[in-house]
Amino acid sequence: MAERNLNIDWKQYYKDHLMSMREASNFIKDGDCFWVGEASSIPYSLLNEMYAHMEDYHNVTIYSNVMNQPCDMIFDPEAKKHFRQITTYNLPLERMSISMNVEECGACGYDMLPLGPFEYGCDTAACYLNPPDENGWCNVGIYGVSTNHALVNNPRIKRVIGIMDRTGQPPVPGDPEIVAIHVTQLDCIVEEDTEIMAIPAQPPTQVDKDIASYILPYIHSGDKVQIGFGGLGEEILAHLKSVGPLEVFSEVACDNMASLVEEGVITKITASSPGACGQRFFDFMAKDPRCVLRPIEENINPFFISQQDNMVAINATFMCDLLGQCCSEAQGLAPYSGAGGSFAYIYGAAISKGGRSFLCLRSTYVDHDGERHSNIVPWLPEGVIVTTPKNFVMFIVSEYGIADCFLKTCKDRIRGLIKIAHPDYRKELMEQIVTTPLIKEDDFEGYDPFDNIKK
């Protein structure tokens, strides 16, 4: 990375380093590993330019996070001869690419993302930026804040490609050291405008509403709440008015949080990136100091999270066993999403003063053949990826109830988790688990697995 120099004519520096996308692609050399950002900050045009001339590249590693636009190279198995593509968290595009055996899962959570790319020798970064302000600072935009400080500005980065985007990167207020990069740190500059990508929130399902009904009594005035985007998050946000003023301290921000701030329900939003947000939220964030985006090494750091008193973490999982071990990133061995920031918040909330964490799941799923199965199983199937070890799990919630697993014995966990499984599978779970050394039939004396079913 070029050395920052605030004393030279940055406007002349800009002109001297301005080039075409094709010229910028020549900065990537054989053997390089480069970080290309996340979501809308990823320079898709640069990647497509490299793909169009992929015969010129050999052994180049590309590290990214959550692609929200198509990119030609991730769908071509031939590209593997030239590029190794690693993704931290998978959206639908990455899932398609992984199923084609093109992209690879990075297999680390967001709390480790500041270290992940450097395990592969990351030495280059490329990202969209806002055009420079009057002092030559280029705002990294809403999606660049989370990783700019840890990855783009890291001293191990030797080259930075900055793509100036006047229309597609809503700027974010804050300390330039966190939310910007200076023109003189850029080794090459390209100009290209894009469109703002808004991600609409999903409406809550009945299952989301049922799960939320079990969590809401545990949220109190003065708490700090971490919540993801999606139907469950929207349902919980819709009921926070009855809780009283509280803060959001979260991995992501959501559109509806802006209205709750303006109404005084939420007193402050501290997040790492926008999750399901559109122009309304971007405009709100730009002018309201009660909304702050912070880098990933702060907001998705379990030890920083643990310093937030009364931290309430709400996350999702796909499957759990009767000890509370949870698979939250795959369907069996098939990668689906990623570890994300869930473990950082689960662990941070567990050791926070007054903290609470909730892992939420649907009690059942239907396979490709239309057959229904339980998501609560006596033991995880062989090979299933464990995202959250049992020792850190506090509450597990399904549409049938809530199980308190924190610091409980194996037998207490088993008895509690069976009661939140779908009623059709509770007897079967009991019959299966007594075949193990974990619990025996007489441990179920006086136990009614159905006593929480509403009559």
Strand partners, 65: 38
Residue 201 has pLDDT above 80, yes or no: no
CA dist., res. 319 & res. 90, Å (int): 18
pLDDT tens-place string over residues 221-234: 999 999 988 899 99
Ramachandran bin of 121, using left for φ above 0, alpha for ψ from -120 to 50, beta for the remaining angles: left
Question: Which pLDDT does position 334 carry in this prediction?
Answer: 86
Mean of the per-residue pLDDT values of the chain = 94
- What secondary structure does DSSP assign to 290-355, as a single string? TEEE--HHHHT-HHHHTTSTTEEEEEE-SEEETT--EE-SEETTEE-S--TTHHHHHHHHHHSTT-
Cβ atoms of 152 and 160 closer than 8 Å: yes
Residue 106 has pLDDT above 80, yes or no: yes
* Start-to-end CA span in the chain (Å): 66
Backbone angles phi, psi at 53, to 5 degrees: -125, 40
Cβ atoms of 110 and 341 closer than 8 Å: yes
363-380 residues labelled b (16+ CB within 10 A) or e (exposed): bbeeeeeeeeebbbbbeb
pLDDT tens-place string over residues 166-182: 999 999 999 998 999 99
Backbone angles phi, psi at 321, to 5 degrees: -100, 180
Q: Is the dihedral of CA 202, 205, 207, 211 positive or negative?
A: positive
Ramachandran bin of 169, using left for φ above 0, alpha for ψ from -120 to 50, beta for the remaining angles: beta
Residue 263 has pLDDT above 70, yes or no: yes
Residue 1 has pLDDT above 80, yes or no: no
- Helices (runs of H) and strands (runs of E) counted in the chain: 15, 24
Question: Which pLDDT does position 57 carry in this prediction?
Answer: 97
CA dist., res. 427 & res. 103, Å (int): 42
pLDDT tens-place string over residues 113-171: 999 999 999 999 999 999 999 999 999 999 999 999 899 999 999 999 999 999 999 99
Average of per-residue pLDDT across 286-298:
94
Alpha helix segments (H runs only) across 64-168: 92-99, 145-147
Q: What is the pTM of this model?
A: 0.94
229-254 residues labelled b (16+ CB within 10 A) or e (exposed): bbbbbbbbbeebeebeebbbbbbbbb
Residue 436 has pLDDT above 80, yes or no: yes
Residue for token pair 């199937």: 381
pLDDT tens-place string over residues 93-104: 999 999 999 999
What is the pLDDT confidence band of residue 455, given thresholds at 50, 70 and 90? low
Question: Which pLDDT does position 94 carry in this prediction?
Answer: 96
263: CB partners within 8 A, 6+ apart: 241
Question: Which pLDDT does position 454 carry in this prediction?
Answer: 75
Per DSSP, the three-state class of 134 is coil
The encoded tokens of residue 240 equal 């926070």
pLDDT tens-place string over residues 34-72: 999 999 999 999 999 999 999 999 999 999 999 999 999
Residue 199 has pLDDT above 80, yes or no: no
Strands (E), 134-277: 137-139, 159-164, 180-182, 188-191, 224-227, 246-254, 266-276
CA dist., res. 343 & res. 366, Å (int): 26
Question: Which pLDDT does position 114 carry in this prediction?
Answer: 94
What is the pLDDT confidence band of residue 395, given thresholds at 50, 70 and 90? very high
Dmax (CA) of the chain = 81
pLDDT tens-place string over residues 273-286: 987 788 889 999 99
Residue 197 has pLDDT above 90, yes or no: no
The encoded tokens of residue 398 equal 């399904």
